[in-house]
Amino acid sequence: MADGGLPVIARFEVRHRNYLAPDGSINRPLPAFASDTDLLTALYRAMMLLRNFDRKAVALQRTGRLGTYAVSLGQEAVSVGVASAMREEDVLLPSYRDNGALIWRGVKLEEILLFWGGDERGNHFSGPVRDFPFCVPVGSQAPHAAGVAYAFKLRKQPRVAVCMFGDGATSKGDVYEAMNFAGVHKLPVVFVATNNQWAISVPLRLQTGCETLAQKAIAAGFIGEQVDGSDVVAMRAAAEDAIAAARDGRGPRFIEAVTYRLGDHTTSDDALRYRSADEVQARWKEEPITRLRSYLVGQKMWSKAQEEQLAAECHERVEAAVERYLATEPRRPETMFDHLYAELPETYAAQRRELAGEGDA
Amino acid sequence: MPEMTLVEAVNLALARAMEDDPDVVVLGEDVGINGGVFRATVGLQTRFGPERVLDTPLAELLISGLCVGMAAQGLKPVGEIQFMGFLYPCIDQLVNHASRIRNRTQGRLTCPMVLRTPHGAGIRAPEHHSESTEAMLAHIPGLRVVIPSSPERAYGLLLAAIRDPDPVVFLEPTRIYRAAKGEVEDDGEALPLDVAFVLRKGRDVTLISWGGMLKETMAAADALAADGIAAEVIDLATLKPYDEITVLGSVAKTGRCVIVHEATRTGGFGAEIAALIAERALTSLLAPVARVTGYDTIIPMARLEHHMMPSVDRIVTAARQACQFS
Ligand SMILES: Cc1ncc(C[n+]2csc(CCOP(=O)(O)OP(=O)(O)O)c2C)c(N)n1
């Protein structure tokens, strides 16, 4: 034998979680929360709102009223499912594509528009005060999450940090460094990798030689689970389990949410340069919103009338937010110095006065 | 008052800060039982426990990123990077997160962290252990860059850095960690940040330096005094934001200025000071502003490193030339 009959000293496994099939039928008994019609329809409503919001945001960008924007099309179940399992006092550390999670946590639509419209006031949002803003340098929020979770542990608070990033981010040392540390200290943190198959134009198979991203948790000493990220019931259930484990002191978890980015990477990307329309078309059959709707309708939990009413509600909410966004008074130029330091050093105060047109003597 | 070394003063300040404030957490590689490779954290883990004095995995980006997360949660983390040559993985966190989280969230989240690291050459250390790239850090908006030059200032400035509500990089001059001795009272009194210290008054020429290089600069001032030249010596202490008023006031008085730093010349912090003087004090100048700096090369290993660092002679020569210029 090539291995000289050496004994196996460790074996690891990675599980995959899915409840709803793409046609809305169920593959295995649903978790308890799924009998709560209000909750399931709330998840549905949140995903619909996000999709409507995305559509409007793209339209605003195309007409020059918003900057570059990253849509969640096809992956709405991930951020909505995860955020719905969090408590208010937990801390969310989102990537730039997690609008759905922010909205669920109470960030106003106009605040998100302000952010993508290039105004920092969007980050002073109405969500939980300790939540982090969107993180643009990919994966660099993972060490923050470990730090946040360490603070919870030190202060013996039953709170959990939830850190979200993409498949591309899992290639960065930042993410491994954070997971490794979280494993050492059994920190109350949940890492969620949204595996949407693409990091801009780079497909997963060029991102990693691993069979799953979930197995990356094994090297850090905790459980990694692969979840059908287009099944919001699975996402919610996996996040609930992971967050509960973290809260009880059972240490970190890693969730690989396997889904698909149906849209372009951002409004400045053209995905047809690197993937075929056929590939995308095929993936539309798996998308999360139709899937949940089919289930809800099949269970008589959702009606055509409700659907129509929801469409009108979403439209109204988004339009009203856009109005408030567009009506926001511009910031005065000198405010770029505000909140630079707790107290602005005099040297820079002079520059601030210069911007304010208050010319220095 | 007890006499102690600079590194002992750092230790004393850390202990005092941890004693006074349960939110202060010390973290880094080998900071626990080993007390840090320079012993700056010695005894802290025994006293404050492994939860508040934690040995991190060997990952510098992580150390700085953890600090950001902890600080945004209201802790006051003090991270240690073993040598400045290993600080570079932290730059991402310093530039993209620590320095700007207050501004980008409009004050919703803040980052009261300190990142400490040894600074500079002269201890015959291996490659990558002798860096002095403070100018790179001083270029980052929203950051504070502080560097003490004596045990007394190490104690007072480190306390100030830890209490400061914004992120501070605290550079500790390795060469004088043990060579500098002084009396330090553990009174919990911080020294002001953003303020330069005038170490010696003089009317003929202004010598500006920071950190370890003040040793040579002060020696040069002595040598010049023997020649009848009265040099004013300024310890800049905080490089970002720096005390322009003290610099300009001194140059207005002496009309001559020599800036001394061991970092390489091009784009060094001396260039910033020279530019400030050119913009704001040109008419009081009696001679060109001079820089005595490290050369624009990789810091050599032990056998040549002392040739890289400004010597007392180079400083004296530059100051004399400035005084003779007419
Ligand atoms: C550190 C870093 N490098 C490069 C970029 C530019 N960039 C923005 S998004 C992206 C792809 C990220 O892919 P992934 O992590 O899978 O997330 P997704 O966009 O698919 O949600 C890249 C390379 C960045 N933002 N940060």
Number of domains observed in the structure of chain A: 2
Residues A168 and A295 both lie in one domain: yes
Q: What is the pLDDT of residues A272-288, one digit of tens each?
A: 999 999 999 999 999 99
Q: What is the pLDDT of residues B248-261, one digit of tens each?
A: 999 999 999 999 99
pLDDT of the residue at A360 = 55
Residues A216 and A136 both lie in one domain: yes
Tokens describing residue B86: 């290993």
Judge: A177–B103 Cβ closer than 8 Å, yes or no. no
- Roughly what angle, to the nearest 10 degrees, separates helices B60-72 and A173-185? 70
A213 C-alpha vs ligand 1 centroid, how far in Å? 16
Pick the atom of ligand 1 nearest to B92's CA.
Answer: 1
B102 interfacial to chain A (CB closer than 8 Å)? yes
Here the CATH number for the domain that contains residue B303 is: 3.40.50.920
pLDDT of the residue at A3 = 75
B70 interfacial to chain A (CB closer than 8 Å)? yes
Is pLDDT above 80 for B27?
yes
The stretch B1-27 carries a mean pLDDT of 97
Judge: A150–B68 Cβ closer than 8 Å, yes or no. no
The stretch B92-113 carries a mean pLDDT of 98
Residues A299 and A317 both lie in one domain: yes
pLDDT of the residue at A4 = 83
Say whether A261 is catalytic: yes
Judge: A144–B92 Cβ closer than 8 Å, yes or no. no
Of A123, A143, A148, Cβ closest to residue B61: A143
Task: Quote ipTM for the complex.
Answer: 0.91
Number of domains observed in the structure of chain B: 2
Pick the atom of ligand 1 nearest to A96's CA.
Answer: 21
Is pLDDT above 50 for B149?
yes
Q: What is the pLDDT of residues A75-123, one digit of tens each?
A: 999 999 999 999 999 999 999 999 999 999 999 999 999 999 999 999 9
Judge: A129–B102 Cβ closer than 8 Å, yes or no. no
Of A123, A147, A153, Cβ closest to residue B68: A147
The stretch B214-220 carries a mean pLDDT of 98
**A145 contacts on B by Cβ (under 8 Å):** 69
Q: What is the DSSP letter of A272?
A: G
B106 interfacial to chain A (CB closer than 8 Å)? yes
Record the pTM.
Answer: 0.94
Residues B204 and B136 both lie in one domain: no
- Looking at the complex, report in whole angstroms how far the Cα of residue B320 sits from the nearest Cα belonging to chain A: 31
Q: What is the pLDDT of residues B31-45, one digit of tens each?
A: 999 999 999 999 999
Query: Model confidence at A173, in pLDDT bands (50, 70, 90)?
Result: very high
Residues A337 and A217 both lie in one domain: no
A136 C-alpha vs ligand 1 centroid, how far in Å? 8
pLDDT of the residue at A2 = 63
3-state SS string for chain B: CCEEEHHHHHHHHHHHHHHHCCCEEEEECCCCCCCCCCCCCCCHHHHHCCCCEEECCCCHHHHHHHHHHHHHCCCEEEEECCCHHHCHHHHHHHHHHHCCHHHHCCCCCCCCCEEEEEECCCCCCCCCCCCCCHHHHHCCCCCEEECCCCHHHHHHHHHHHHHCCCCEEEEEEHHHCCCCEEECCCCCCCCCCCCCEEEECCCCEEEEECHHHHHHHHHHHHHHHHCCCCEEEEECCEEECCCHHHHHHHHHHHCCEEEEEEEECCCCHHHHHHHHHHHHCHHHCCCCCEEEEECCCCCCCHHHHHHHCCCHHHHHHHHHHHHHCC
Residue A5 within a domain: no
pLDDT of the residue at B240 = 98
Residues A115 and A85 both lie in one domain: yes
Tokens describing residue A256: 């690989």
pLDDT of the residue at B1 = 86
Active-site residue (options: A87, A124, A274, A348): A274
Residues A184 and A219 both lie in one domain: yes
**B241 contacts on A by Cβ (under 8 Å):** 345, 347-348
Residues A348 and A216 both lie in one domain: no
Residues A203 and A349 both lie in one domain: no
**B73 contacts on A by Cβ (under 8 Å):** 91, 130, 147-148, 151-152
Residues A91 and A173 both lie in one domain: yes
Instruction: Locate the chain B residue with the closest alpha carbon to A121.
Output: B106
Active-site residue (options: B128, B129, B139, B261): B129
B254 phi/psi in degrees, rounded to 5 = -90, -30
Residues A337 and A283 both lie in one domain: no
**B107 contacts on A by Cβ (under 8 Å):** 124, 338-339
| Atom 7, ligand 1: residue with shortest CA distance | A138
B69 interfacial to chain A (CB closer than 8 Å)? yes
- Roughly what angle, to the nearest 10 degrees, separates helices A76-84 and A288-298? 60
Residues B17 and B116 both lie in one domain: yes
| Atom 11, ligand 1: residue with shortest CA distance | A199
A135 C-alpha vs ligand 1 centroid, how far in Å? 10
B170 interfacial to chain A (CB closer than 8 Å)? no
Say whether B97 is catalytic: no
The stretch B193-205 carries a mean pLDDT of 98
Here the CATH number for the domain that contains residue A168 is: 3.40.50.970
Judge: B73–A148 Cβ closer than 8 Å, yes or no. yes
The stretch A21-37 carries a mean pLDDT of 97
Active-site residue (options: A159, A261, A283, A291): A261
Is pLDDT above 50 for A361?
no
Residue A194 within a domain: yes
Cα separation of A170 and A165, whole Å?
8
A198 C-alpha vs ligand 1 centroid, how far in Å? 9
Of B52, B105, B164, Cβ closest to residue A133: B105
Q: Which residue among A200, A204, A267, A275 is best mutated to probe the pocket of ligand 1, counting the most ligand atoms within 8 A of its Cβ?
A: A200
Q: What is the pLDDT of residues B52-100, one digit of tens each?
A: 999 999 999 999 999 999 999 999 999 999 999 999 999 999 999 999 9
- Looking at the complex, report in whole angstroms how far the Cα of residue B60 sits from the nearest Cα belonging to chain A: 9
The mean pLDDT of chain B is 97
Residue A25 within a domain: no
pLDDT of the residue at A1 = 54
Of B68, B103, B107, Cβ closest to residue A144: B68
Is pLDDT above 60 for A57?
yes
Domain containing A348 equals: 333-360
- For residue A47, give the nearest of A26, A70, A74 by alpha carbon: A74
The mean pLDDT of chain A is 96
Domain containing B264 equals: 197-324
Tokens describing residue B156: 């007072």
Of A146, A177, A340, Cβ closest to residue B69: A146
The stretch A51-61 carries a mean pLDDT of 98
The stretch A159-168 carries a mean pLDDT of 98
| Atom 21, ligand 1: residue with shortest CA distance | A166
The stretch A119-137 carries a mean pLDDT of 95
Residues A41 and A110 both lie in one domain: yes
| Residues within 6 Å of ligand 1 by CB | A 97, 136-138, 165-169, 194, 196, 198-200, 261, 265
Residues B16 and B87 both lie in one domain: yes
Judge: A340–B103 Cβ closer than 8 Å, yes or no. yes
Q: What percent of chain A lies above the pLDDT cut of 70? A: 99
Boundary of a domain, candidates B183, B218, B241 = B183
